[in-house]
Amino acid sequence: MAAKIKNCPSCGRIFVPMNATQKLCPDCMDKLREKEHEVVEYVRDHPKVKIAEIIEATGASENMIKRMIREGRFIQTGVQMTYPCEKCGAPITQGKLCPKCSAALKKDLAGAAEKIQAAREAKLAERPSTYRSERTTQGGGKNNPAPAKPKKYAGDGLSNRYRGLR
């Protein structure tokens, strides 16, 4: 199977990725590794540094530094770094939300799911059944009349069904 050719999003050069997760060309990957090594060395030398100071000192992007924190790259150096929660700004070491905001979001989603389920069940209860046996047990109604009893003709005791067979 032939590999697909891609353009590097960083420099625009055409390259053939070695695996499905490779997004950058080999030259840009080397530059990225060098920049990450520079950031790790700076953090090792300055353990109480803030993200803004790292950006200013190394020229690395904020997204790259946050990704490195999420991956635990600074824990290996003995430094516990944090970045702000995207909702409330509390310091976190992984993910995008702090545990408090994450729990609130889960609670909101569970409530919304319950409302949707209740609305779906109410809609199903209002709709008449497609099965004859269920319609007879549900009773009559505007959209679902009760089935009528077969009529018999006077005197002969036969229903309409057998009328034409005589």
Q: Where residue 111 falls among pLDDT bands split at 50, 70, 90?
A: very high
Give the three-state DSSP class for 116: helix
Q: Which residues of 122-145 are buried (b: 16+ CB within 10 A; e: fewer)?
A: eeeeeeeeeeeeebeeeeeeeeee
Q: Write down the pLDDT at residue 27.
A: 92
- For helices 26-45 and 62-71, the axis angle rounded to 10 degrees is 70
- The predicted model scores a pTM of 0.52
Using the predicted structure, report yes or no on whether residue 103 has a pLDDT greater than 90: yes
Distance CA 84, CA 117 (A): 35
pLDDT digits over 113-158, tens only?
999 999 988 888 777 666 666 655 555 555 555 555 555 555 555 5
The answer to whether 90 and 98 have CB atoms below 8 angstroms apart is yes
Split at pLDDT 50, 70, 90, the class of 73 is confident
Q: Cα–Cα distance between 70 and 83 in angstroms, integer?
A: 9
Mean pLDDT of the chain: 79
